[in-house]
Amino acid sequence: MSKPKVAVSWNSSCGGCDESIVDMEEKILDIAPKLEFVLWPCAMDFKYQDIEKLADGDITVSLINGAIQNSEQEHVVKLLRKKSNIVVAFGSCACFGGIPSLANLTSLQRMFESSYLSSPTVVNEEEITPVADCPDGAYQLFLPEMHRSVSTLDMICKVDYYLPGCPPTAKMIANALTALLEGTLPAKGSILASDKALCISCIRNETKPDSIELKEIKRIHEVIADPELCFLAQGILCMGPATRDGCEYPCIKGNMPCTGCMGPVSGTDQGAKMIGSLGGIISSDNTDEIKSIISGIVDPAGTFYRYSIGASLLGRKRNKNG
């Protein structure tokens, strides 16, 4: 009997999702021999032509990480969808847009200006910026065209399962692949992670008072955080109330507050949920004092939607430059 075929593909992301597969350590030795990898650009030299030659639906599962930001990524994603029985949005960039989708808060033109012209570390005296096609002597060179907006995977193709996390933990990946091999995957459309908020399982949950009275919001680098006490109880912004559980809270264990990388709990908007949670604990009836307290949130969009703006109620900021 032939082995299930697996494709792993990488769009706009940092590579951490691929790294997390390797982080399965010896567990990968149990699972990998039962699978046939047909695409994994980060690890093996396959060609897209090899995928094109496969019959439609021949790939058992494609694990697609990263947000979609250009024409090449869109083409490959649609090709994998056609050739795959199951498509998994792998990691928070594919699920919710992730950090790359913060680009939706500005225009493509401004992003190019920042990346290629104005950033302090850029040296580009001829002010060259990428173009989609460029004559070079007898040749014509092509680059993928950038999209105006960064998209989640399910904005580009149908997604069967979601595996959130930045990156998903090795345990979550092993569980998903084991369920695939054993035929025990849940109904299509499911998120392959807990559906509770992080606070519920957090090791500091017992130190979270029933009623918090927030008089000041402090940033983690401004204080020496108590290593046992709930961050919110210390006035340090922690995204735990609005973030999906399942990561085994490595940040909290390292005495850092949660920044929300597992994305929202089902049916919620992560930023709106966190703003609602904060609204309930800011302790003042005075408008000026409330303004002063929330001025401690230096980058609201980057704080509340760091990993999920692509899938959020905001989606993207519209301005006159598009």
Residues that bind ligand SF4 (CB under 6 A): 166, 198-199, 202, 204-205, 208, 230-232, 238, 240-241, 243, 247, 249-252, 257-262
* Closest approach of ligand SF4 to the CB of residue 135, in Å: 46
Query: Which residue lies nearest ligand SF4, judged by its C-beta?
Result: 240
Residue 229 CB, nearest distance to ligand SF4 (Å)?
Answer: 8
- What minimum distance in Å lies between the beta carbon of 230 and ligand SF4? 3
| Residue whose CB is less far from ligand SF4, 103 or 198 | 198
Task: Between 23 and 72, name the residue whose CB sits nearer to ligand SF4.
Answer: 23
- Sign, CA torsion 22/53/83/3: negative
| Token output for 54 | 């496969």
Q: Output 12 or 277, the one with its CB closest to ligand SF4.
A: 277
Q: Which residue has the tokens 């695939």?
A: 180
CB 223 within 8 A of CB 234: yes
Of the candidates 305, 278, 280, 309, the residue with the CA atom closest to the CA atom of residue 294: 278
Nearer to ligand SF4, 250 or 322 (CB): 250
- Minimum separation from the CB atom of position 268 to ligand SF4 (A): 14
Residue type, 298: V
Q: How far is the CB of 291 from ligand SF4 (least distance, A)?
A: 23
Of the two residues 14 and 108, which places its CB atom closer to ligand SF4 in the complex? Answer: 14
